[in-house]
Amino acid sequence: MEIIIQKTAEEGSAVGGRIVAKLIQHKPTAVLGLATGSTPLKLYREMIKWHKEQGLDFSQVTTFNLDEYVGLSADHYASYSRFMNENLFDELNVPTQNIHIPNGLPENLAEHCAAYEREMVDAGGLDLQVLGIGSDGHLGFNEPTSSFASRTRIKTLDQQTVEDNQRFFKEGEEVPRHVITMGLGTIMEARTCLLFAFGEGKADAVAEMVEGSVSAMMPASVLQFHRDARIILDEAAASKLKKADYYKWVYSNKPEWQQY
């Protein structure tokens, strides 16, 4: 793991934006795994800035999203398909046929999940996977006890995740209890994992993920085994790391060719 601590979420997201931009400049046909929720929004604004102000070309990029709610149509106000269009794709030149988001209303869930896995393989695999971390340590919707070998599948949400996501739904509307999510095994096959965590509310999960034991009870801890996992934090999210000063020292002393 490489731990990158910045003062603010904005500064951390700017680092992430440079990492994504560098990848696409080096490999215009990059395959990106994308996440939803409030955490990656600032990263997506950085990507849009790179496109509009620096001319970063996304016309050959392919994307796969981590997850989607089962039972929501693509045009539902709380669907991840709509979220991605409104917060990223409407502002970039990624071809529509290159955008892949799980279908929340498939005819056959198992077949759809298997096909999603095949599509990622056919695209050449994920070059970079954007991630957040849940307050209980989940990645995507891989809740505690998820298998480290799991693939894209249907998953039942933990009560805490349902409560955390209630803010994205209208008052009185229930959060779906089931989702389609990439598995931890799928995520681990990405060549680079780029995880963002901001705010004091993520500090406990971050500390356990980075410095705790690897355990299925803390799904994000599997990233300790990833060959290129970059963890971007603000000061608040990093506040419970025992080795925070060391991580800062390492990052500030990177050789020029390793800098972002």
Q: Which residues are catalytic?
A: 67, 136, 138, 143
Q: Which residue has the tokens 């954007």?
A: 130
Q: Are strands 2-6 and 229-234 parallel, antiparallel or unpaired?
A: parallel
* Contact present, 145 and 217 (Cβ < 8 Å): yes
Q: Is 179 left (phi over 0), alpha (psi -120 to 50) or beta?
A: beta
Give ∠ CA 258-189-162 in degrees, rounded to 5. 105
Q: Give the neighbor-by-neighbor strand order of the sheet with 153-156.
A: 67-69, 178-181, 153-156
Q: Which amino acid is at 119?
A: E
d(CA 127, CA 33): 8
Beta bridge partners of 229: 193
**Cα 232 to chain centroid, rounded:** 12
- Residue 16's nearest CA partner among 128, 99, 100, 91 is 128
Q: How far apart are CA 66 and CA 100, in angstroms?
A: 10
